Chains A and B, each alone.
With several copies, the nearest count.
Chain A
Amino acid sequence: MDMYTEKVMEHFRNPKNMGVIEEADGIGKVGNPVCGDVMHLYIKVESRNGKDFIKDVKFQTFGCASAIATSSVITEIVKGMPVEDAIKLTKDDVIKELGELPPQKVHCSVLAIDALNEALYDYMTKRGMKVPDVVRERHKRLSRSGEEHGH
């Protein structure tokens, strides 16, 4: 068995949506260079028929191949997704999309979910919206310890 699935390597080789959104509606920054992974996620949100959609999303990542691949894949998953659905995503959705991650790399999928959470939190608080409990809890946990992101 190879360490990484072909899908992981594909995203690593050709990461989608990398870069910065200059006028982002929400920015999520998680991870810590000390631990070897940092992910920055930028989102642009659009309202259509009273529903919020993630219109655009970009990332910057410092980290191993699976950190880069999970970053890329989370942007693909959420691009065009209603915010209310994006909130419900978990690390398993990321892993399922990639096929599999080696046990010691599962934390990268958590990192991607965390980055999304932080971007959504940032967006919601900036707009003065009510932040759903799940997003608030996750944010609290993440801000308590900048160094902990699931491993």
Chain B
Amino acid sequence: MRRVYMDNSATTPVAKEVLEEMLPYFSERFGNASSLHSFGREAKLGLDAARKRVAKVIGAEEREIIFTSGGTESDNTAIVGVAMANREKGKHIITTKIEHHAVLNTCKFLESRGFEVTYLDVDKFGIVKPESVEGAIRKDTVLVSVMHANNEIGTLEPIGEVGRICREKGVYFHTDAVQSFGKVGIDVDRMNIDLLSMSSHKIYGPKGVGALYVRSGVRMEPLLYGGSHEFRKRAGTENVAGIVGFGKAAEISMKVMESEASRLEKLRKEMVKGVLGIERSHLNGHPEKRLPGNAHFRFDFIEGESLVLRLDMEGIAASTGSACSTKSLEPSHVLLALGLRHEEAHGSLRLSMGRYNTKEDVERVLEVLPGIVKDLREISPFKKGYRN
């Protein structure tokens, strides 16, 4: 059966060029980048080149890039690191209700340590109002964390404006750009970003690698203690092969960013048009201000997991929202924050398209999806409306 992968927001395959660039670093240029000898120096060269490539995508300096084990570690490091290093100034943090769990659960952890967190509302498209950030900033606010692109519904947040407000108020601004990095233009200076999280496996690089941008001069504690790696901001023997792959993936993403964005937008529009042809289906998120490849729907009277598994039986890989929450019973916190009712939030489907998706993939989904929705509605007790 022809398989169609439409879950590029969960993760992506490693690009051929990326893997090729990584390969020599496993068994030949395998040295520890901290070692003095030639094996170590070869590894260090790979590390430095990758740092340059990643920095370039967001307009940063090389020494402002810290490599981590992924987006989750980057988020944790930024939030815990800044909160703890600046707790003399205050213990208040501002974020939104639609952040990834790597941000939300880290904030919850800080609440258990005496911090106070404001979770800002979003509108029905999932957009946070910059004025609400402004209104929430207090004297004791040490950090604002607003994501760039939401991982479920794809909505793009006005981080440039949020950044400007934070700079004016003298508060550090972190953005989780795991979903947007390499897909949407970012300039840390123009957008007044102090800390920014990235992850390699969302842009056709290997899993287990990420980076955190930390503007020079930002006060931050490390999360991992040990040797003096990564400018003393993140200890641990560097994952050289992985980092080299991430660097290459970042470079490619930047090169194809514009052409891919317009190509994926076209595919998405086709997908949205086709899916909304199914009765009682709805698009979640903003119709325009969203990641190019993200299409997120809900279907009345049926439940998302069934939908995903039925699509899987047809060889189509999709998701209900974020991969991390697939095994939880809770409906998505993001959909609830949009104002959807629980029963509506249960019927969601995310089709996230990426570099290797084609028009044929979209057509294939549109060919099988209506029948599956119909089938599941057949089994459903709610053919005409929710009632018990």
Contact = CB atoms under 8 A, between A and B. Distances in A.
- If over half of A's interface residues share one DSSP class (helix, strand or loop), that class is named, otherwise mixed; here it is mixed
Size band of the interface chain B makes with A = 20 to 34
B44 A62 contact: no
B143 to A, nearest CB: 30
Given A102-B327, A104-B327, A104-B329, A1 B306 contact: no
Nearest to B228: A104
B309 A29 contact: no
Interface in B316-337: 327-329, 331
B386 to A, nearest CB: 5
Interface string A29-45: 10111111111100000
A65 interface: yes
B380 A61 contact: yes
A62 B303 contact: yes
Contacts of A29: 381, 388
B297 interface: no
Nearest to A59: B379
Interface stretch (A10-18, A48-56, A88-96, A125-133): A10-18
B363 interface: no
A65 B309 contact: yes
A3 B41 contact: yes
A146 interface: yes
Nearest to B48: A1
B382 A62 contact: yes
A63 B36 CA distance: 15
B15 to A, nearest CB: 27
B346 A36 contact: yes
B51 to A, nearest CB: 10
Nearest to B344: A33
A33 B343 contact: yes
Interface string A56-73: 000111111101100000
Nearest to A37: B303
Interface of A: 1-3, 9, 12-13, 15, 18-19, 29, 31-40, 59-65, 67-68, 102, 104, 107, 146, 151
Interface of B: 36, 41, 44-45, 48, 301-303, 305-306, 309, 313, 327-329, 331, 341-343, 346, 378-382, 386, 388
16 contacts: A1-B44, A2-B44, A15-B379, A33-B346, A34-B342, A35-B329, A36-B342, A59-B379, A60-B380, A62-B301, A62-B303, A64-B303, A65-B305, A68-B306, A102-B327, A104-B327
Given A3-B327, A33-B388, A63-B303, 7 more contacts: A2-B44, A19-B378, A29-B381, A33-B382, A36-B346, A40-B381, A104-B328
